[in-house]
Amino acid sequence: MAEVCPDAAFSFIAHLPEYGLSFPIDGNGWSGGLPSATPASGSTVWGAVYTVNEASMPSLDAIERHEGRVRASLQAIDRMGKRHVVATHVAPEAAGATRAPSARYVTIMLSGSRHWSLPAGWIAGLEEHLDVGR
């Protein structure tokens, strides 16, 4: 985020209820599948929400498009239970079956998750994906 949108500012931690983490995107040099939030009953995807200047969004969209994701508006819930409409990037519905995850990408996700003190269960789940990707 810092490289693509240097003006981005952390806003809050949130989760996407009824979404799960999948790896449906061919890695484009990442040596494994890239992640997406995919509708999944009973699951939750956690992350940090940033405020990004609208002028920076085309650069972010381009990077995500190169990795196989498109911008989507979803409802995230912050730690206080408040709903927010957020822009995120997800794989198109036709992306296909999940792949073995890119260990390098999951390592980056783990670093960010630990930095923002995301829930221990989320971090443990990422560690399991890391084991699969190696």
CA-closest candidate to residue 69, choices 60, 77, 78: 60
Q: What pLDDT was estimated at residue 106?
A: 95
Indicate whether 59 belongs to any domain: yes
Of 63-72, 90-99, 121-130, the one with minimum mean pLDDT is 90-99
Indicate whether 68 belongs to any domain: yes
Indicate whether 118 belongs to any domain: no
Residue 96 pLDDT greater than 80, yes or no: no
Indicate whether 103 belongs to any domain: no
Q: What pLDDT was estimated at residue 94?
A: 60
Residues 133 and 110: beta-carbon distance below 8 Å: no
Range of the domain at 80: 9-98
Indicate whether 37 belongs to any domain: yes
Identity of the amino acid at 114: R
Q: What pLDDT was estimated at residue 132?
A: 63
| Average pLDDT of span 78-95 | 91
Indicate whether 109 belongs to any domain: no
Q: What pLDDT was estimated at residue 97?
A: 73
Residues 5 and 56: beta-carbon distance below 8 Å: yes
Summary count for the chain: helices (H), strands (E):
3, 4
Q: What pLDDT was estimated at residue 95?
A: 64
Say which residues have a Cβ less than 8 Å from residue 12's Cβ, sequence separation at least 6: 48, 49, 78, 79, 84
Residue 62 pLDDT greater than 90, yes or no: yes
Q: What total of structural domains would you count in the chain?
A: 1
| Average pLDDT of span 99-110 | 93
Indicate whether 18 belongs to any domain: yes
CATH number for 93: 3.10.490.10
Q: What pLDDT was estimated at residue 93?
A: 76
Of 5-9, 63-67, 70-74, 129-133, the one with minimum mean pLDDT is 129-133
Indicate whether 1 belongs to any domain: no
| Average pLDDT of span 1-28 | 91
Residue 92 pLDDT greater than 90, yes or no: no
| Calpha distance 121→82 (Å, rounded) | 21
